[in-house]
Every structure is written in C-alpha cells, then in structure tokens.
Structure 1
Amino acid sequence: MVDETIEDAKAGLRRQAHAARAALSPVERAEAADRVAEHFFAGNVLQPGQVVAAYWRIRDELDCQPILLRLMEGNQTVVLPVVLGPDQPLEMRIWEQGTALYEAGFGTLAPSELAPLAEPDVVLMPLLGFDSQGTRLGYGGGYYDRTLAQMTKSPTLIGLAFAAQELDAIPREDHDVPLDAVITEAGLRHFGASA
C-alpha cells in the first residue's frame, strides 16, 4: 500500500533537490566530480578484487566518469546498470576495458546484452537527495530498491552527489535501503554503524 502523505512529501523534496542540482554551473559540476573521485579513492572504500557498480551519468547527475576511468585503469571489475523494464530489477553488466558502450535508454550508456553479469560488492548510486541519516531520495522508479532486494549479497551502498543535494530530512519507508556512505565535493561521510 502506498502512503500518499509520504509520496507527496517525497515529490516536493524531488523538486527541491532537482532545483539545487540544476543551479550548479558546468564548471562547478566538473570540479565537484573530480573532488568526489579524489575522496572516493582516498577513503579506502574498496578492497582488491571487489566488483563495483557505477553508473553512466544522465541529465545533471554527478558525473562518476573520473571514478570509472581510474577503476578501469586499475583493473577493478566494473558493472553498469541496465534498465530492462519498468517493474524489473536492474541488470548489472560487466564493462570490460576496451569494449564499447551502447545506448540503454534514459540517456545512459551500458555494455552490450552479451556482456557477462556480476553482483557488485560496492554500489555507487546516483541520487536526487540525501539526508544526515543516509536516506537516499531517488527518482521514484524503485529500480535500485528492486535490485538490492533480489541480490544474494549485501553490497556497500555509496551515494554520489553534490553537497547542494543534502536535504534536512527524507521520509524513509520499509523498502528504502539506507546508504552506508555519501561522497560529495565536501568529502566522504559514513552513516549507521560505520559512522
């Protein structure tokens, strides 16, 4: 059952977060992406051999290409999410160095449908907003919620965002899995037991 009060509150927060993100200049976005990559690698959040799920930026999301390129150069296994359908979990396809990416809907790119699949140990998540409790505000499609619910492991969830996307409080529903950490241009912040 959908709680309309929570959905209305989240819709308002989505508008607020969209506006904050859209207000950033291209220079601010590029500088933030580089700083987020620096904080990511300085934060020692990865172990050798771990599979990392990243994403290909759409619209004005924080660009994680600086992270992706360094992961690929370091021979870390990287998977990119692919939307298969409106009510399905994401498919995590391995992006191997030197292989092409293809349009995968929503303005994003992904490995071909022939690419091998893998479950990630670390998931770098795009978001619209986050709060001090590690609650992530997504676009409302539930893709990551469905994906995490069907996985056999519990990956470390790291939100990538601009500092301007922090909100005072986001209502959390039972299906909302909190972030373990968020990285903005201001630094790396852990939530929960690891805070």
Structure 2
Amino acid sequence: MVSDALLRDAKSVLRAEVRLGRRARSVSEREAATAGLTENLIALVRRRAPALVGCYLSGSDEPNTRPFLSWAAANGVEVLVPVSRRDGLLDWVQARGGPEQIGLFGISEMVGEVVGPSVFQSVELLLIPAAAVDLSGMRMGWGRGYFDRALESLREHPPVFAVVYDDELLDSVPAESHDIPVNGVVTPSQTREF
C-alpha cells in the first residue's frame, strides 16, 4: 500500500506537469480546444436537459467555460457558478454574464447575490474543474478540496463531469481515500461517462 505522503507527492508532481502543459498551449491550441469543449458541453446539457447546472468559471489556464456559460445565458439554461469562501467552502451565484471580480487565490468570480444552500441542493448536473481524470473516473483536483467538500454537502448526487484537456485524461491518477470519483469527463474532443 502506498503511503499518504507518497500519494501527496505524486499528486504534486502531476499537478506541476499539468500546469506546465497548460501554460505551454498556444493561442490557436486554446481556441481550438475551446470550440470543441463548448460544443461538447452544449451537447451534454441538451442531452441531459437539467433544470439547473453548476459550472466553474474558468481561469486563464483552464479549459474555457465562458463560451458555454454565454450560450447557457442566451438559451435560458440556469447555471450556478462558485464563489470561494475563506472557510474552504463554496457559495454559489447565478451565472448571468454579469461583472467579475478577483476572489480568493486570484481566481476570477462572478459578482452576484449568493443563492441559498437549498438552491445548490437542486443542481441536476455539475461541471467541475480538475487537474486530471483517469479512465476509472477518479478526479484529481488542485489540492484545496473546495469541490470535494461541495460534493460531500449534496444530499443527492447529480451527475458530476470533470472538465479537462484531452491529454489530461490519463490511464490512472494518484488517489487518496477521501477522493471522490466523477461520473464522466468532458474534453475538447469527447464526452465520456464512467
């Protein structure tokens, strides 16, 4: 059995590799990835027809969710986006294409009125960030645990899809006992359910 310290080290190494890979992408690679990802996110939402979606607001190196969020707003799809709190939890606001501000950890967040916890409990599809996902559905996040805690807070788990670049869908990722697998992954070239 691999020790917790070795697993944490393996995660740190993989996260660093993913960060380097993301920063090395050219503008044209990012644009092509965004087009494919947006198409796949829209197709997933159309197929599942959720009444309420939870989706992250992408940072500069992450797979770009903004075109999907714009499509959702223009097509009457209700979406919540997270706002980080100092206590390690997430609040959620309606994604309506409004202004953004820099929140904790330098992450851009939408400005808006925080919805009550019962609203987040009614999310029917959750699209979350990841550093990498493996073929069994194990998701490796960025190490702060915000989305893991958000998933744990849900009484009923909606389908959860991690959003990554194609080369971040791996054969395996290091996983600790508290890590929660996802139901699927969306990349620029595919949507895969586990």
| Length-normalised TM-score, structure 2 | 0.87
User: Which piece of structure 1 moves more, 59-68 or 37-46?
Assistant: 37-46
> Would you say the 8 A contact 1:124–1:157 is kept in 2?
yes
Letter in 1 for 2:58: R
Residue 102 of structure 2 is matched in structure 1 by 103
1:156 equivalent to 2:159? Answer yes
Question: 1:186/1:152 Cα in 2 relative to 1: closer, same or farther (>3 Å)?
Answer: same
Superposition deviation, residue 45 in structure 1: 4.4
Superposition deviation, residue 99 in structure 1: 4.0
Unaligned 5+ segments in structure 1 are: none
Q: C-alpha distance in 2, partners of 1:37/1:146?
A: 26
* 3-state SS in 2 of match to 1:140: coil
Residue 91 of structure 2 is matched in structure 1 by 91
Residue 57 of structure 1 is matched in structure 2 by 58
Unaligned 5+ segments in structure 2 are: none
Question: 1:48/1:155 Cα in 2 relative to 1: closer, same or farther (>3 Å)?
Answer: closer
> Would you say the 8 A contact 1:54–1:81 is kept in 2?
yes
Superposition deviation, residue 188 in structure 1: 0.8
Superposition deviation, residue 152 in structure 1: 2.1
Alignment map for 1:111-150 (pairs within 5 Å): 111-112=111-112, 114-117=113-116, 118-119=119-120, 120-150=123-153
Q: C-alpha distance in 1, partners of 2:190/2:100?
A: 30
| Length-normalised TM-score, structure 1 | 0.86
> Would you say the 8 A contact 2:80–2:92 is kept in 1?
yes
- Could you list the runs of 4 or more consecutive aligned residues of structure 1 that deviate by over 4 angstroms after TM superposition? none
Letter in 2 for 1:94: Q
> Would you say the 8 A contact 2:133–2:168 is kept in 1?
yes
1:166 equivalent to 2:165? Answer no
Letter in 2 for 1:66: P
Letter in 2 for 1:52: V
Q: C-alpha distance in 2, partners of 1:165/1:15?
A: 12
* 3-state SS in 1 of match to 2:60: coil
**Identical pairs, percent:** 27
